[in-house]
Amino acid sequence: MKMKCVGIGKTVGEYGLEQVQTYVKRIQRFMPFEWIELKEVKHHRNKPTTALQAEEELILKYVSDRDALILFDEKGKQMDSKVFAQFIDKHIMIHGGTLVFCLGGAYGFSDSLRQRANGMVSLSPMTFPHQLARVVALEQLYRACTINNHHPYHH
């Protein structure tokens, strides 16, 4: 089993870069894991759908038909860390391919990408800046790995 996490936009700032690198390395102790950053598509303020469609095409280049696509999305299901770990475990058993998690850009995801997704997870009912959302998502992926492997990180 392998996991990927695709993020729209570049990680900026020393703290953000350090945290992303730290959690990527930690996750890789449990399974093959790849962090992929895609350039955010420029959009006209009144026409975000054009950018969403272009970002969808970029994202789908990293998702095969066998992969399970999970979106971190405000419309997703809220769950605690243990339930999220079970959610990941379930998708690993069902799909057997790669689990591809995705963090969207400023306008989120297109409706067609949401329909293609095998699941959607909300990080919080609150809105986070992209840099913080990345760190929270990666930390939760790491925490799920520790829970599923009976590691003492999660009490």
Q: Structural domain tally of the chain?
A: 1
Q: Which helix (H) or strand (E) holds 146?
A: helix 130-148
Q: Is 9 left (phi over 0), alpha (psi -120 to 50) or beta?
A: left
Using alpha carbons, select from 58, 67, 84 the residue that is nearest to residue 136: 84
Q: Is residue 11 part of a domain?
A: yes
Name the band, by pLDDT with cuts 50, 70 and 90, for residue 46.
Answer: low
pLDDT tens digits along 120-141: 999 999 989 989 999 999 999 9
Q: Residue 140's domain is classified under what CATH number?
A: 3.40.1280.10
Q: Is 57 left (phi over 0), alpha (psi -120 to 50) or beta?
A: alpha
Q: Is residue 113 part of a domain?
A: yes
Residue 106's domain spans which residues?
2-149
Q: What pLDDT is stored for residue 50 in this prediction?
A: 86
Q: Is residue 155 part of a domain?
A: no
pLDDT tens digits along 27-36: 999 999 999 9
Tally of residues, the chain: 155
| DSSP string covering 95-144 | H-SEEEEEE-BTTB--HHHHHH-SEEEES-SS---HHHHHHHHHHHHHHH
